[in-house]
Structures are given as C-alpha cells and as structure tokens.
Amino acid sequence: MTKLFKYSPLDLAGRSFRLLMLHQGTAGEISCDIFEASLEPDRAMPYEALSYAWGSTDQSETITANGKILHVTKNLYSALGHLRNKENRILWVDAICIDQTNLQKRGHQVGQMSDIYRQADQVLVWLGPSTYETKVLMESLGKLQRSVSKPADWTNTDLLGRQWLEVEQKNYLDYAALTDIQRCGLTSLLHQPWFNRIWIIQEVANARASTICCGQHSIRSHVFAAAPGLLGLDPGPHRQAVLDLMPSPSRKANTQKKHLHTLLRSFRQSQATDPRDMVYALLGISDLGSDIVPDYNKPEVQVVHELQSLLFFGAEFARNLGQFAAMRHFLLELPTLTDNAFKTLIVRGRLDEVEELLRRGETFCLTDMIASLAIVEAGGMMRKLLELNHPNLTFSLDCFDYMFNWCSTETASLILNRAGEELRFITSGMAFAMSGGAEETEERGGISALMTTWASTRTILVTQKGFETFAGMGNMTAVRRILESADKSYRVTVDMLGIMQRQASNAVKRREILECLLTQHDGIITVDDDAIVWIIGIEDEKISGFLLRHIPSQSTPQITADLVDDVSFQMVLNDEWEHATGQEMAENITKTVLDWDQRGVLKFTPP
C-alpha cells in the first residue's frame, strides 16, 4: 500500500519555501514532485503561483506527490487537472506547499506569501470548470485580447468599445442573444467563491502578471477586468475593488502599500476559513505588515485585541470604543468604530491622531453636534481642523452654520474659504453672524462685514431659517434686500417672533420689521397660524392693523383654543410679559380672535 506523503522540514531561518512540479499529462492520475526552493534572488527559479478558492476543507481527492499519496480538496484537484500541460509545470500552491498541520511553520510561510506572489512569473487565477456561458464569454474576451496589441490601448475605453463591437459582429450569434449569454457567463464568474476569499487580495495585488483560468480557457486579468464595462454590468463595490487590484500593462504590480485599517474596511466582507486570516492575509500589501507577525498559536480573541489596539492608538483608547472577541464582529463594526474614534479624538482635541486617521485614507464629516462639543471641550480645535484643509475631512452645512454663531473673524474667513461653492444658501447661523451676533462687539462687527461682503459677490439663496434670523435680529437692510429680489415665499413664524422678542426688543424696531413684512401683499409673505396668535398677543394696535389687512392675501387661518393656549404660555416666558399669566394672555387673545372670526377673517374653533 502506497504511503502518505510527509513534509520535510524547512529552514525557518532562511527564505526557504516549497514548490511543486506538476507532471505533464491531460488525463489520468495527477502527480507532482514537491521540492524546496528559495526566495533569495541569486537562488530563485521561475514558477507560477496558483490563486483559487479552497471550497470545502474535505480532502476527498488524492494525487501522487513524490510517489506518495497526498489528499487534496475537490476544488484543488479540479484546478490541477485543468492546469496540466504537455510539459511539466512549476507551481506554488498554498495548500500543498505549506504544511497546514504545523502551526509554527505555517505562520512562517504565511509571512512570506507576499514575496512568493510578487516573485512569481505570473499568478494563475482559477475560477473553476467552464459552462456554455463562460466558454462563450472567455472565447470573446480571448479574441479581444488578440485584437488589442498595444498596452496603452487598454486604458482607452472608447477604443476598447469599438474593438469589442468588431469582435461581437464577427460572431455567428445574434448580437443581443450573444450579449445576454456573455453577461450570464460574467455574472457566474464574478460570483465564484474566489472573489470572496480574503487571501486573493494580496495574491492579485502583488502579482507582476496574472491570468484568469476557467476550464480550458485563459485570458490576461486586465482583459477580464474590462469585461463589466464592455458588457454594461455592475460588479458591485467589493468585486470592483478586486478587479481594480489586478495587474495591467500599465501597472505591472501594485507596489503602493495601503494602511491595514483601510484594507480591513474595504475588504471586511471577504471570507476566511480561519478568522485570523482576515488580518494575516492583508499584511503583505499593508504598510503595517512588519507590526504584526502571523502566529496561529494565538487565539482569535487575542489577535482581535492586539489588532484593535494597533488601529486605535493603544489598548485603553481602543477599549473605550468597545471590546470584541470575534474577528467577524469587530470588522463589521469597524466603520462605526472609526467614526466614533474620530468624534472622540476631535472632542478631546487630539489633533495628531485625527491626522493619522486621515493619512490612512479614512474619511469623516463633522456635524453641528460634534462642533458644539469640541468648542466646549477643546477650544480652538475646530479652527485647527479647518486649517488642515484635508480632503477626507468634510464639514456639514449644519456644522458651518453652528460655527458661525461662535467663531472669530479669522475662523469665519477659513470657513468661507473652505466651503467654497458649497455655501449656496444663507442659513440661520450665517444670518446670525451677518446681523452682528448676540452682542455688539468689534469682533462680531468684523464678522458681519466680512460675510456681508462675501455674500454680495455671489448669487445665494436665503433659507426660511435664515430669513427668520435676519428678521428676528432686526436686520432691516437684509430683509428689504431679500424681499426685493425674492423668487420664493417666506413665512412669519413663532421662531422668528421669539428671536425678535429677544434680540429686537425695542418696540419701535420690532414694529418696523413687522410693518415691512405684513405690508407685502404679493404672496411673498405668509403668516403661520400660531404666529398670528402671537402677533395678536403683542397688543400693538398698529401691528394688529397690518396683520388684519394682510390675512386676506393668504388662505383662511384655522385657530383653535388649544393653539391659543400653547402660544400664550410661550409668550409669558418672555420678560416683557412677566406681569401676565398664560391664562390671562389666552383670554385677551381669544377676545380678538373671536372678533376676527365674526368678521370672517379667520376661523376659530372653541374648546
């Protein structure tokens, strides 16, 4: 009885690894010789590296290795059977060339995998046996490969499209029917398990050249990568990211390493039989590759904790973000953890760590809530973030709006320069700043002048909230300018009247603003029902007259007793009505409302 193959030990101190010589043949028993080789340049030999999906770990098939039995999976057996040539072929195959049962040696070999794929003459991507649809697709792509000979032409999408059309027109099938078959074939290949393997990321990224193999057909990887565009098929973000990694004539190999954080986020949906490989498989293309050594003696939970500490600035900060025992759970939460890290670092004023996350390629959008916390907890942090002017760090319009309420003239200038054309609307915060803010200081005056000059050079719309603030702050100049050029309607609201009561406390100034608004009878100004109640409650005969004449220009207000009560209690919260209770205020307002109801000006619903 033939003995089982046993691995000879490798020199772990050197750059030794194993290769196999796949014996020639087209059918029958698959046999090979496994031998030791070296990655040292002066001792290197030509070989090809196989990239494939392991599939089931059940080693139900057998091949002959060095004259002895070696058990392999069905997927690998199929790949080796199809890859046999008329001549012997030197290959590197992970499941055969790495002793999977020896954890120490396995870790050593895994640490060399990026070099193994980088030094291979080419990487053979095995996508499984062919079907009729994949056969038609691969044959068409093969014809395209032969018709486009210049490397630079593969970056010319228009030329590729014309060449593809010529290839299609030479086919005996109807064009529409052919396209359907090809799309079906491409969809089938893109959904092969290979695309979900985490290991294929570094295998393809490190390749100097690669070939896609399906059944007996093979094409260069850059030809296959062009197929979705030629057939109008969306491969989805994960598969497109894999296709983008494939080497092309203009990019022999992906030499620029990315941060492990970015790689984990991009490929967190990939799959691995061993969850620790979700990290180990990316080390070869990561700029943190030397900071982590593959060690299969470490339990999963330890690998997760060490990874989290590495990505998030030490164990203590990482623990505060959350603790995880399973790699899959940690990776699924990685985008959320990254956002939370940004928030915490910004609020704590830790600029260096924020810059580090941005350097890794992470992105973040600042909101008004984060700005409010940062202004309180880390004074000056928002200005520093603006000065970074980093493309990966953006600011929501609500954030800018909030900052205008509190910023200095210099910071306001930074905001305007940073926002650029994004600021197409004047919101409440901008209107507040342009109106001089809560206190009449030289600083607020400078901001007001700066922003007014800035706005005068652009066509900018004023939002409803911005209009409320201009009117509430008593900025008559801005209100008149808005009404003169308004191409939309604005509302008089309770919020506007509340600001007006707090900021434009001078009764004469308030009357001037309300007179300006209530004498607009061209549909530009409407008054909310609760605002009608509020204006009545002011008990200013002249203003009430303006309102009475204005109401017929809009739809009939619907005033209820509950609305009168609600507005009355809001009004007594203002200092001007300290002498009145909510009930007294409501009774006075109700008298006028009943009178106007009888006149047919509005509709009142009693309790």
What are 76's two structure tokens?
């690998």
Average pLDDT over residues 508-519: 88
Q: What pLDDT is recorded for position 41?
A: 83
What are 219's two structure tokens?
């094409």
Q: Quick one: how far is CA 502 from the chain centroid?
A: 42
- 492 burial (CB, 10 Å; 0-12 / 13-18 / 19+) is buried
Bridge partners (DSSP) of residue 426 are 462
What are 320's two structure tokens?
């505060």
Bridge partners (DSSP) of residue 68 are 65
How far is Cα 334 from Cα 320, in angstroms, rounded to an integer? 14
How many other C-beta atoms lie within 10 A of the C-beta of residue 446? 15
How far is Cα 322 from Cα 441, in angstroms, rounded to an integer? 45
Model confidence band, residue 494 (pLDDT cutoffs 50, 70, 90): very high
How far is Cα 30 from Cα 20, in angstroms, rounded to an integer? 12
- 203 burial (CB, 10 Å; 0-12 / 13-18 / 19+) is buried
Residue 568: what are its φ and ψ, rounded to 5°? -60, -45
**C-alpha dist (Å) from residue 95 to 110, 125, 194, 204, 509:** 11, 15, 15, 17, 84
Q: Is the model's pLDDT at 347 over the cut of 80?
A: yes
Cα radius of gyration (the chain):
36
Contact, 215 vs 126, CB < 8 A? no
Q: What pLDDT is recorded for position 557?
A: 93
Q: Tens of pLDDT along 22-75?
A: 999 878 889 999 999 998 888 889 999 999 988 777 788 888 999 999 999 999
What are 16's two structure tokens?
């030794």
| Residue with the larger pLDDT of the pair 344 and 26 | 344
Q: What pLDDT is recorded for position 437?
A: 67
Q: What pLDDT is recorded for position 439?
A: 63
Intra-chain end-to-end CA distance of the chain, in Å: 100
Model confidence band, residue 1 (pLDDT cutoffs 50, 70, 90): very low
Q: What pLDDT is recorded for position 33?
A: 93
Q: Tens of pLDDT along 251-261?
A: 544 456 789 99
Q: What pLDDT is recorded for position 171?
A: 65
How far is Cα 128 from Cα 311, in angstroms, rounded to an integer? 37
Average pLDDT over residues 382-395: 92
With a pLDDT cut of 70, the percent of the chain lying above it is 94
What are 370's two structure tokens?
């984060």
Question: Average pLDDT over the chain, rounded to whole?
Answer: 87
Q: Tens of pLDDT along 474-492?
A: 888 888 888 887 778 999 9
- 591 burial (CB, 10 Å; 0-12 / 13-18 / 19+) is exposed
- Contacts for 4 with CB less than 8 Å, ≥ 6 apart: 68, 69, 70, 71
Out of 62-76, 100-114, 256-270, 325-339, least confident range: 100-114
Q: What pLDDT is recorded for position 438?
A: 59
Out of 60-74, 138-152, 572-586, least confident range: 572-586
Q: What pLDDT is recorded for position 255?
A: 53
Concatenated DSSP letters for 507-520? HHHHHHHHHHHHT-
| Residue with the larger pLDDT of the pair 419 and 322 | 322
**Secondary structure of residue 214 in the 3-state scheme:** strand
Q: Is the model's pLDDT at 103 over the cut of 50?
A: yes
How far is Cα 392 from Cα 253, in angstroms, rounded to an integer? 26
**Secondary structure of residue 427 in the 3-state scheme:** coil
Q: What pLDDT is recorded for position 505?
A: 57
| Residue with the larger pLDDT of the pair 10 and 310 | 310
